[in-house]
Amino acid sequence: MATAGKVIRCRAAVAWAPGKPLSVEEVEVAPPKAGEVRIKIVATGICSTDDHLRQGCFPDAEFPVIPGHEGAGIVESVGEGVTSMKPGDKVIPLCVPQCGKCSFCLNPEANICQKSTVCEPQNLLPDKTSRFSCKGKQIHHFLWVSTFAEYTVVPEYAVAKIDAAAPLDKVCLFGCGFSTGYGAAINTAKVKPGVGLSVINGFKVAGASRIIAVDINKDKFCQGQAAGSHRLHQPSGLQEAHPGVLTEMTGQGVDYSFEGIGKQKPWLVTFQHLSSLPFHSHAPLRAKLIPVGSSLPAAWTAGHIFVRENRAWVLKETPRSPALLHKA
């Protein structure tokens, strides 16, 4: 049955209120407006950021909302003026889009598009409306993407068309997890030869001489080895995860340390003892912007962690920077 131009009824996992469990509901998904794309979501990943949203960690987030921001699917229909894709195309919806026209997109040193929801955090599409409804109520989008729904609507510039042969159950991770971890190793740390799984993969491509994976879940180690890690360490608790263990393993410590779950306690355990070394957290941090809701700004203001303060941070990189600094 043709669905283009019609409201689609489908299932979605809805967060009705902060701190409440997700509820699978039948929702209505309106047709795409001009410049929008409606996508049938085939596969989605689950990111800690989605749970941060559910817990109410983002003060700007509006409820009820459909989480999910790393998915892949097939274009069901397109709105007026959409030219870069057509129904039937495989795509990845982007929680950090790239319009290709704003000053940030044209700047090789910037990575947050001015049209991004990170710069203007509201759980609606650019026209300030939602395409979701349930039980007569408006349901908000999350980062425009909302991949925890069987169908979603996003702006054209927040969709990437991919190869028709791409396996959607794997490439869905490019929407957040893989690209974030890989980019942290390649772009942020700029790892050179001699010096989360996606981070390991990025290290391997960058030519890192030794990659050590640390996790309390031994079941993940086979995946870590497959991704490229050279050594594996399974601490029984945070004390055994002390950097001194890594120093004994390496003889001098590590050049780069990445924490990938977005929790303050393990982050601090490592960071406090590696303060003289480059350190990058890729969850829940996003690019050069610390989102409100992260526990790390509070840890910084309390004096538990230290950051480089001897360089200029360009506030105009995002319109929200002054507000974030004020809240921190």
Max mean pLDDT among 55-59, 114-118, 241-245 falls in 55-59
CB 249 within 8 A of CB 212: yes
Could you tell me the CATH number of the domain that includes residue 223? 3.40.50.720
In a domain, 302, yes or no: no
Domain boundary among 142, 165, 188: 165
Based on the fold, state whether residues 208 and 82 are members of the same structural domain. Answer: no
Based on the fold, state whether residues 148 and 77 are members of the same structural domain. Answer: yes
- pTM, two decimals, is 0.62
Dist CA 289 CA 282 (whole Å)? 11
In a domain, 241, yes or no: yes
Q: What is the pLDDT of residue 56?
A: 87
pLDDT bucket at 189, cuts 50 / 70 / 90: low
In a domain, 240, yes or no: yes
In a domain, 279, yes or no: yes
Q: What is the pLDDT of residue 58?
A: 79
Q: What is the pLDDT of residue 67?
A: 94
Q: What is the pLDDT of residue 64?
A: 95
In a domain, 192, yes or no: yes
Alpha helices in 190-275, H assignment, sequence order: 197-206, 221-227, 243-250, 264-271
Max mean pLDDT among 21-25, 91-95, 177-181, 309-313 falls in 21-25
Dist CA 283 CA 177 (whole Å)? 9
100: left (phi over 0), alpha (psi -120 to 50) or beta: left
Domain boundary among 134, 165, 196: 165
Based on the fold, state whether residues 186 and 246 are members of the same structural domain. Answer: yes
Could you tell me the CATH number of the domain that includes residue 37? 3.90.180.10
In a domain, 173, yes or no: no
As a whole number of angstroms, the longest Cα–Cα distance in the chain is 65
Based on the fold, state whether residues 211 and 62 are members of the same structural domain. Answer: no
Average pLDDT, stretch 267-284? 42
Q: What is the pLDDT of residue 266?
A: 56
pLDDT of 278 over the 60 cut: no
Strands 71-78 and 90-93: antiparallel
Based on the fold, state whether residues 249 and 213 are members of the same structural domain. Answer: yes
Domain boundary among 132, 165, 198: 165
Based on the fold, state whether residues 154 and 191 are members of the same structural domain. Answer: no
The contacts of residue 221 (CB under 8 Å, 6+ apart) are 213, 215, 232, 234
Write down the mean pLDDT value for the chain: 74
Average pLDDT, stretch 25-32? 98
Q: What is the pLDDT of residue 104?
A: 77
Alpha helices in 207-316, H assignment, sequence order: 221-227, 243-250, 264-271, 296-301
Max mean pLDDT among 166-170, 177-181, 182-186 falls in 166-170
Show the tokens assigned to 245: 């263990």
Exposed/middle/buried for 147, CB within 10 Å: 0-12, 13-18, 19+? buried
Hey, what amino acid is at 20? K
CB 164 within 8 A of CB 90: yes
Q: Where are the beta strands (DSSP E) in 97-146?
A: 132-134, 137-139
Based on the fold, state whether residues 77 and 208 are members of the same structural domain. Answer: no
Q: What is the pLDDT of residue 309?
A: 44
Q: What is the pLDDT of residue 224?
A: 65
Q: Which domain holds residue 248?
A: 178-283
Based on the fold, state whether residues 114 and 199 are members of the same structural domain. Answer: no
The model's pLDDT over 312-323, given as tens digits with 9 standing for 90+, comes to: 444 444 444 444
Based on the fold, state whether residues 140 and 29 are members of the same structural domain. Answer: yes
Based on the fold, state whether residues 267 and 138 are members of the same structural domain. Answer: no
Dist CA 312 CA 18 (whole Å)? 36
Based on the fold, state whether residues 71 and 160 are members of the same structural domain. Answer: yes
In a domain, 307, yes or no: no
pLDDT of 45 over the 50 cut: yes
The total number of structural domains in the chain stands at 2
Dist CA 246 CA 229 (whole Å)? 14
Based on the fold, state whether residues 18 and 151 are members of the same structural domain. Answer: yes
pLDDT of 203 over the 60 cut: yes
Exposed/middle/buried for 71, CB within 10 Å: 0-12, 13-18, 19+? buried
Dist CA 31 CA 171 (whole Å)? 25
pLDDT bucket at 193, cuts 50 / 70 / 90: very low
Q: What is the pLDDT of residue 276?
A: 40
In a domain, 3, yes or no: no
* Lowest-confidence region among 52-61, 142-151, 308-317: 308-317
